[in-house]
Structure formats: structure tokens, C-alpha cells
A and B are shown apart, each in its own frame.
Chain A
Amino acid sequence: MKVESQSTEKSKVFEELRQQIQRLEGFKPEAADPVSLDLEVIDAALPGRSLPRAATHEIYSDSPEENAAAAGFTSALLARLAGEKGMIAWISKSRSLYPPGLRAYGLDPARILFVETPRDKDALWALEEILRCKSVSAVAAEITDADLTATRRLQLAAEGSGCTGFLLRSGLRRAGNSACVTRWRIAPLPGVATDDLPGLGSPAWQVELLRAKGGRPGSWPVMWHEARFQPIAPAHDETRDVPLPVAATVLPLRRRTG
């Protein structure tokens, strides 16, 4: 009996300490409505069991195909952050983003304010300006170069306003240190056929959480089905003629976490 109460007390202390650390790191663990990815495995790896709001996140992708996967994944997160009424902003280098395609990920293109600038300097300025605006729920920005100082500025701006930012970046190998709270890498996986229908099936991605302040990195195969993230069930894979997505635990993690 005594042992039990001791251990619960201990875990309580741990939980309190963890929250303290998170607060120091700029999270607001008591956020009103947490942004869950609805995926037990990923949520568990995130600090506070949800995607931190009022923070900046980096999403890496390298080829045009990966860029598209990252755009889909980011759209889904943006839609979750914006909820029913929120406004979104998207800063891009060129007019390659195709608004009708974002609707599949729950994002209403009419709610997006697009900003187009080929120069990183302008994009960073615009991103900071948007992050400071309390009326924008979330913003995604295609940014090539952003050093520690630049990302720290962005992170502080986000903390001040409550807006959440996603930096869509490329060149993971050269990636330096950053003040963003999480770093992701998204790569396409073969789609998952549902209900044995022919065709492309639901889009699937290998979602890698490369680093997360107060969380645990990991890598998971995820599909987008019926307007939400779903784990890829092994049962589906048997009917397929492509190699199975490798289970998360076996997949080699990229250890370059900056």
C-alpha cells in the first residue's frame, strides 16, 4: 500500500517537472484545444501528447514528389489548427501550390492567404509578420535558408501571438540547428488500397519525427483516409504487390537531429 502511494507521488512529481521544463522551453501545455493527430503512436511521441500550438515546426522534403507529400501532410495539420473558422497563410516561392488539391486534406482554399515571393529574405519577413498576427491560426512557408537566429525570432513571434508556423524546408543533410520545436521529414509511400478497389488508393506517407523538444523522435507509416490520419494496418498490405512499408521500429532513424 505504502509502496503504491509512493510511486504515484513520484510520477506526479515527474509530471510536474516535465511540465515545468516544457514551459521553460516555450510550450503552453495547458493549451485550450490540443491538436491531436488522432494517431496514438505519434501523439505519444509529441510533447504534451499533441502538436504544440504557438510554436514553429520544420518539415523537410527534398524531391518534388516529397514536396508534394509534405504539402499534403502540412495541409492536414493546418486544417486541424484552423478549425472551422480560422485563417491560414501560405508563403510560397512560386505558384506551384494548387489550391484545389488541398481540399482533399480538409483545407478550404478560400481560407488561405497566399503570399508569393522567390526571395528567402522577404519570405522570412512575411512569415514573421504573419506569425505576429493573432488573427491567423497557422502559416506554412517555403523557406530554404533560416539559421538559428532567424528561427528563434520566428519561434518568439509564434509564442507571442498563438499562431503556429510550419517551415517547409529542403536539404535535410545540410540542415543546421534551429529553434523550431519539432522537425519532421515526410516521404511518399505507396498508397493503400481500401475495400479492395483498384486505383491509387489512399495517400500514404512515411512520417518521421526527427526531433521534438520534450518528445521522442520516431518514424511511422501513416495513411490519409476518410479525412483523417490512420495507421497502416498490416492486413491491407498482404493483398498488395509492392513491398510492405517497413515497421517503424526497424526503420533506421536519421540521427542527424541537429
Chain B
Amino acid sequence: MTRRYVSVWFPYLVTDWLTRRQPARAKRPFAVTGTEKGRVFIAEANEPAEAQGVVRGMGLADARALCPQIEALPEETGRGEKLLAAMAEWCIRYTPMVGASSPDGIFLDITGAAHLMGGERALLKDVVTRFRALGYHARASMADTLGCAWAVARYGREKPLIESGQQKEALASLPVAALRLDDETALLLGQLGVRTIRHLYVLPRATLTRRFGKELCLRLDQALGATGEALKLVKEAPVYLERLPAMEGILTAEGILIALEKLLAKLCLRLAVDGKGARAAEFFCYRVDGQVERLRIGTGAPSRNPRHLYRLFRDRLEQIDPGHGIELFTLSAPHVEAMRAEQEDALQGGSDPAQLSELADRLTEKIGPGHVFRALPQASHAPERCVRVTGQLAEKPEADWAEKSRPVRLLTRPEPIEVMAPVPDYPPVLFRHKGKLHRIKRAEGPERIEPEWWIAKGPMRDYYRLEDESGQRYWIFRAGPYAPDNPPHWFLHGFFA
């Protein structure tokens, strides 16, 4: 299948953006300036400035001589790239395969996607109209190759839509600079009288390569389609992506809900056919004014149940601001995992694992990740570290629980207590905790737990299980060994049932 590419060129990318932010600038000449070796030059001038003869690369002083009222704005590093990236992402509305062509354009791979917009001509028109509506000067062209589309968008004088296989004819009359050559090569070719690409067709390849390096022939072949060229995508295209354009801007919550439901049904059907389940889903709403509202949800286990995914999104839909209306919705599953018809599960027998993982997802969505978890044993003697917390419902324990008597409640931080322990290495006879005195009637211990020196510092602990006179049961420990001159500290660490 022949690929079809669109190249969009923004001749006044940064100046248009600045004008968009301050519409009053539209009629005034101004320029973005860069600095190189102490010389201030024009990086990009707007239309009124160019009309007075200001061109790119000119020194600012020269520009001021031509156009005294010109406003010079220092260049913001990376602004152009940022804008292109945002525009490319916005263009995912047309196709998921979008790449930036620095410094002033973007590429869209619309192979097999043109019919969604009503044909190639309509798509091309739509792209240009929308960017112009946003206040950007834009020229677009469509061709079989990236090189040809790039050339026609920037240098084409006739038609922007190059029919499949017509690259050679379309390029013939364009200047050689349209081949994405560096300035030096273009200048050299010009000096030799090779002004249009037509002249290159007849020159022997061997001579061209010898004189100008491999680059020239490569670019020519790429533009003609003799050599392939890969499009570097701004964003990895999700395989599972569904789109739903709206005839009129959607403003109401119900409208958004209906769109989401429709998209989910489509997406889940595709997932089911492929035996996959979504671990994450992204819902994008493209607004009329060019903003993109986005929501992302994650699931604990692969899911393709539209009702479940719908419920995860539902509570957060109010975060979507429809602005003046939403004209396109997309739903993608950027992260999918294989899923059997009945996902086998490590721990459920009587209960339905899908229901459980859906419940866990709903709870996580509302209460927050990390607050819905399971506790599995971990090989450690330290009471704080023998529990491993996991959000996975299907995870199986890797260790066994230690067969030791442990309290049902553990203080996250051991609390210091005052203790009377007359006999060393015997349990205390009474202790005071938070001002309350507890007389010990019965005790068990000590259970010595050495610190795991490779993880944490600290003295060894001697744990005792105590019961006071009213039957309340405690877990306390002495930090460090007995030393007559340096009495050890005691702590309360937990409560037994």
C-alpha cells in the first residue's frame, strides 16, 4: 500500500504564537531575535516586518535601519519545538502517526485515514483551515513521500495535493532547496546553474555524489520515493484507538457520557477479538478552540468490560471543561495485556475475579493509589518488614508467614514507655504508657529480633508479650542489651487481641 503523507509548514510559527497571545501585535512589525557570537540577528520576522524588507538572518541593526519601529523580542529557547510538539499532538485527531519536522513544520501519516475526514482533499483543507482559524499561517501539501510533501508545502506554486506516483512531475519545477538540503549545497548548486530539481534528474548520479556527498542523492531519492524514509513519531501510536467526531460541538455532560459509552463499546469489542484487556485508557476531548481535555485511568488487572471502564471514568468526567464545544473524542488503550476469557486468579475460588478487580479499581480510583492493597508475607524477621504491600490482586505470596505469635495491631512508630524491670532479662513488672500504669500479671519472652544491619541501623530488640491485671495484652520491646550504667529504652509496639 502506498503511504500518503501530509506536510504542514508554519512560515511564521513563533511570531504567530506571539500574536495569538497579544492580538494587538498583528499589525505592528516585530521580530524574534537570536544572538550568535555577540551579534543579534533576526530569527523570525512577522508579515508586516517582512513587507518592509526585513528577512531572516539579518542583523537587528540592519533591520532597524529598514524598519525603525520594529519591536525586537529575544528568542525563547525551545519555544518552537514546544509549539510543534503541541501541534503534532493536536493532529492526532487526524491520525495517530504524527511527527515533527523541525524547525517549522509537522508531518502526518494519513495512510488509510483520509476517508474519516471525507477524502484527501477535504482532509487537507480541514488541516489548513483549522490552523488558520487558530491564527497560524499554514501551508499544507499531500504526497506519497515525506520529501515531496515537504517540498510542495514550502515551494509549491500550483496544487498542494500531489496524486499518487506524481512526485517526479510535481518536483520538477521546484528549486533545489526544496530537497531539504543544507544551505551550502543549495548555494553551490545554484552557482553551478542547477536551479530546479528538473536539472538534477538528468545529471549522472555518480558525479552528483562525488561533488556533493551522499546527502543530495539520498534526499532526491527520498522525495521521489525510490528510498524509504521513516517518520519519527512524536508519540508512540497506540494500537487500540477509537475516534468519534461530533457534528456539532458537544457541550453537555450527557453528550460526553454518550460519546464515552460508544467509544468504550467499540474499543472493548476490538480488545475482546484480540484476546487483550486494557491496563490503562486515555480519553481525549478535542475542543473547538484547539484545547485538548484529557483523562487517564488505570486498572489493576487487564479489563475489557465497558461498564467497568465506564465507571472508572464516570466520576472524573466533571473535570472535562467543554469550553465552546467538543468536536472530536478519542479513546485509546496505550497499555494492554493479554487476557484469557476467564483470567485465572491466585486467590479466588467462589468469587468472580473480574468483579473483584473491578471493585479494587473503583476503590483505587476514588481513594487513591497505594491505599487499596493486599498484604503478602516477605522474608524478614523485622516486624515492620515482614509484610509486603501489593496492589495486584493476582499476586501470589513468595514466602510463608513466620509461625510466631504476633499482635493484631501494630503501632507504626513504637511508643516509648517507662518500665520497672528489676531483674535483667526478665519481663518488667509494670510499665507506664501515656500516663497510665499497667501492672503485669503474666508475660512471655523474650523473643530476640536482631536488626537487619544491611537495611537499617539500630540495636537488637528483645520482645515480650505482656498481660496486665485487666487482661489487656501488649507487645513491648527493650532496645539494646542491659547495661547497668546506661539503662536501655523500652517501647510499646503493638496490641494483642
How many A-B contacts are there with CB distance less than 8 Å? 186
* Chain A residues with CB below 8 A from B408, complex form: 68, 71-72, 75, 97-98, 101-102, 104-105
User: In this assembly, does A166 line the interface, its C-beta being within 8 Å of a C-beta of chain B?
Assistant: no
Known: A109-B401, A133-B356. A122 touches B497 (CB 8 A): no
Q: Is the CB of A188 within 8 A of B359?
A: no
* Chain A residues with CB below 8 A from B366, complex form: 122, 125-126
* Smallest CB gap from A103: residue in B: B401
Q: Is the CB of A115 within 8 A of B363?
A: yes
* Chain B residues with CB below 8 A from A102, complex form: 408
User: In this assembly, does A99 line the interface, its C-beta being within 8 Å of a C-beta of chain B?
Assistant: yes
Q: Is the CB of A98 within 8 A of B410?
A: yes
User: In this assembly, does B405 line the interface, its C-beta being within 8 Å of a C-beta of chain A?
Assistant: yes
User: In this assembly, does A83 line the interface, its C-beta being within 8 Å of a C-beta of chain B?
Assistant: yes
Q: Tell me, in angstroms, the Cα distance from A105 to B350 when the chains sit together.
A: 21
Q: Is the CB of A188 within 8 A of B444?
A: no
Q: Tell me, in angstroms, the Cα distance from A253 to B441 when the chains sit together.
A: 27
* Chain B residues with CB below 8 A from A84, complex form: 349
Min C-beta distance of A64 to chain B, whole Å: 6
Stretch in contact with the other chain, from B168-176, B203-211, B369-377: B369-377
Within 8 A of A (CB), among B109-146: none
Q: Tell me, in angstroms, the Cα distance from A238 to B418 when the chains sit together.
A: 33
Query: Which of B350, B371, B376 is the one whose CB lies under 8 Å from A85?
Result: B350
Q: Tell me, in angstroms, the Cα distance from A115 to B360 when the chains sit together.
A: 9
Stretch in contact with the other chain, from B80-88, B453-461, B469-477: B469-477
User: In this assembly, does A212 line the interface, its C-beta being within 8 Å of a C-beta of chain B?
Assistant: no
* Chain B residues with CB below 8 A from A68, complex form: 407-409, 473, 495-497
User: In this assembly, does A203 line the interface, its C-beta being within 8 Å of a C-beta of chain B?
Assistant: yes
Q: Tell me, in angstroms, the Cα distance from A101 to B469 when the chains sit together.
A: 22
* Chain B residues with CB below 8 A from A200, complex form: 442-444, 465, 467, 473, 496
* Chain A residues with CB below 8 A from B407, complex form: 68, 98, 101
Q: Hey, what's the 0/1 contact readout for A176-208 against B, CB within 8 Å counting as 1?
A: 000000000000111100000011110111000
Q: Which of A68, A83, A84, A241 gathers the greatest number of chain B CB atoms within 10 Å?
A: A68
Q: Which of B351, B401, B441, B444 gathers the greatest number of chain A CB atoms within 10 Å?
A: B351
Q: Is the CB of B375 within 8 A of A112?
A: yes
Q: Which of B355, B387, B410 gathers the greatest number of chain A CB atoms within 10 Å?
A: B410
Q: Is the CB of B410 within 8 A of A135?
A: no
Q: Is the CB of B355 within 8 A of A191?
A: no
Q: Tell me, in angstroms, the Cα distance from A248 to B367 when the chains sit together.
A: 43
* Smallest CB gap from B444: residue in A: A199
* Chain B residues with CB below 8 A from A99, complex form: 375, 387
* Chain B residues with CB below 8 A from A203, complex form: 473, 496-497
Q: Is the CB of B359 within 8 A of A189?
A: no
Min C-beta distance of A182 to chain B, whole Å: 19
User: In this assembly, does B58 line the interface, its C-beta being within 8 Å of a C-beta of chain A?
Assistant: no
Min C-beta distance of A243 to chain B, whole Å: 9
Residues of A within 8 A of B (CB): 63-65, 67-69, 71-73, 75, 83-87, 94-105, 109-117, 122, 125-126, 129-130, 133-137, 188-191, 198-201, 203-205, 224, 241-242
Q: Is the CB of A83 within 8 A of B350?
A: yes
Q: Which of A67, A75, A100, A205 gathers the greatest number of chain B CB atoms within 10 Å?
A: A100
Q: Tell me, in angstroms, the Cα distance from A75 to B407 when the chains sit together.
A: 13
* Chain A residues with CB below 8 A from B376, complex form: 109-110
Q: Is the CB of A67 within 8 A of B495?
A: yes
Q: Hey, what's the 0/1 contact readout for B262-288 against A, CB within 8 Å counting as 1?
A: 000000000000000000000000000
User: In this assembly, does B362 line the interface, its C-beta being within 8 Å of a C-beta of chain A?
Assistant: yes
28 A-B residue pairs with Cβ-Cβ distance under 8 Å, sorted by A, are A85-B350, A85-B351, A87-B347, A96-B412, A98-B406, A98-B407, A98-B409, A100-B404, A100-B406, A103-B406, A104-B405, A104-B497, A109-B374, A109-B377, A113-B374, A115-B363, A115-B367, A116-B373, A129-B363, A133-B356, A135-B351, A135-B359, A136-B356, A136-B359, A137-B351, A189-B471, A200-B467, A205-B497
Q: Is the CB of B374 within 8 A of A114?
A: yes
Known: A87-B348, A96-B412, A115-B372. A129 touches B359 (CB 8 A): yes
* Smallest CB gap from A105: residue in B: B497
* Smallest CB gap from B493: residue in A: A98
How many chain B residues touch A (CB < 8 A): the figure is: 54
Q: Tell me, in angstroms, the Cα distance from A198 to B426 when the chains sit together.
A: 14
* Chain A residues with CB below 8 A from B371, complex form: 115-117
Q: Is the CB of A113 within 8 A of B360?
A: yes
Min C-beta distance of B323 to chain A, whole Å: 31
Q: Tell me, in angstroms, the Cα distance from A20 to B9 when the chains sit together.
A: 80
User: In this assembly, does B411 line the interface, its C-beta being within 8 Å of a C-beta of chain A?
Assistant: yes
* Chain B residues with CB below 8 A from A114, complex form: 372-375
* Smallest CB gap from A69: residue in B: B497
* Chain A residues with CB below 8 A from B470, complex form: 188, 190
Query: Which of A65, A96, A129, A136 is the one whose CB lies under 8 Å from B410?
Result: A96
User: In this assembly, does B352 line the interface, its C-beta being within 8 Å of a C-beta of chain A?
Assistant: yes
Closest 10 CB pairs of A and B: A72-B497, A85-B349, A135-B351, A68-B495, A98-B410, A65-B472, A190-B471, A101-B408, A99-B375, A135-B355
* Chain B residues with CB below 8 A from A115, complex form: 363, 367, 371-372
Min C-beta distance of B156 to chain A, whole Å: 60
User: In this assembly, does B494 line the interface, its C-beta being within 8 Å of a C-beta of chain A?
Assistant: yes
Min C-beta distance of B102 to chain A, whole Å: 48
Q: Is the CB of A110 within 8 A of B356?
A: no
Min C-beta distance of B360 to chain A, whole Å: 6
Q: Is the CB of A191 within 8 A of B363?
A: no
Q: Tell me, in angstroms, the Cα distance from A89 to B417 when the chains sit together.
A: 33
User: In this assembly, does B397 line the interface, its C-beta being within 8 Å of a C-beta of chain A?
Assistant: yes
Min C-beta distance of A66 to chain B, whole Å: 8
* Smallest CB gap from B375: residue in A: A99
Within 8 A of A (CB), among B409-449: 409-412, 441-444
* Smallest CB gap from B352: residue in A: A135
Q: Is the CB of A87 within 8 A of B406?
A: no
Known: A98-B410, A110-B375. A135 touches B356 (CB 8 A): yes
Q: Tell me, in angstroms, the Cα distance from A102 to B375 when the chains sit together.
A: 12
Q: Is the CB of B360 within 8 A of A101?
A: no
Name 9 extra pairs, CB < 8 A, besides A104-B405, A190-B470: A64-B495, A65-B474, A67-B495, A100-B404, A105-B497, A109-B401, A110-B397, A126-B367, A136-B356
Q: Tell me, in angstroms, the Cα distance from A116 to B391 when the chains sit together.
A: 12
* Chain A residues with CB below 8 A from B362, complex form: 129
Q: Is the CB of A109 within 8 A of B375?
A: yes
User: In this assembly, does B402 line the interface, its C-beta being within 8 Å of a C-beta of chain A?
Assistant: yes
Q: Tell me, in angstroms, the Cα distance from A117 to B370 when the chains sit together.
A: 11
Q: Tell me, in angstroms, the Cα distance from A2 to B94 when the chains sit together.
A: 91
